[in-house]
Amino acid sequence: MANNHKEIVFGLYNDEEDLIRAVKEAKTAHLDIYDVFTPFPIHGLDPVLGLEESRLHIAGFIYGALGTLTAFLGMTWIFTKDWPNVFGGKPYWSVPAFIPITFELTVLFAAIGMTVTFYIINGLGPGVVNQHLDDRITDDKFCLAFDKGSVSEDKAVSLLKQTGAVEINHKTL
């Protein structure tokens, strides 16, 4: 694991608009950004950072479809093969009556599946300890971080200074 240690240099900004300007400048200067940390979601940051749109909703659709099939095929098998019964003179395979449960399980599977996927791909979960750069990032500071392994420290520091970072710090993750 020793090889995985990263030497990080990061700047803290007081305002999200300063951060977005800094990210733009870093992109113009072709500096490889390690990550950006903010106290809340910043709209307009993703395109500047060049983040692709999340595909989480596609996963959600697949989980939902799985729920639809589980519910509908499950009830179909139970009421036509495993336990055929006549309820109120209706056919064994009474599709309209299956709709509510099919809908509920679609929603249930999609919601649970997506949420679990969200935590797994983000590396988050109960008991996970992720080292973070500064305690104030979840309060009021906006952080732009560079990995000294891929960006020269001098360049990174000068960019951070130039773009108005109020603090520049180093940390090993």
Catalog residues that contact other proteins under the rule CB under 8 A.
35-46, 49, 51, 54, 56-57, 60, 64, 74-75, 78-79, 82-83, 85, 87-88, 90, 94, 97-98, 100-101, 103-105, 107-108, 110-112, 114-115, 118-119, 121-130, 132, 135-140, 143
Nearer residue to other proteins within complex by CB, 130 or 154: 130
Nearer residue to other proteins within complex by CB, 114 or 156: 114
**Considering all CA atoms of the chain, what is the largest pairwise distance in Å, rounded to the nearest integer?**
81
Nearer residue to other proteins within complex by CB, 50 or 154: 50
Nearer residue to other proteins within complex by CB, 119 or 161: 119
Smallest gap from Cβ 123 to other proteins, in A, equals 7
3-state SS string for 31-82: CCEEEEECCCCCCCHHHHHCCCCCCHHHHHHHHHHHHHHHHHHHHHHHHHHH
User: Are 70 and 64 within 8 A, CB to CB?
Assistant: no
Cα gap 34→55, rounded to integer Å: 21
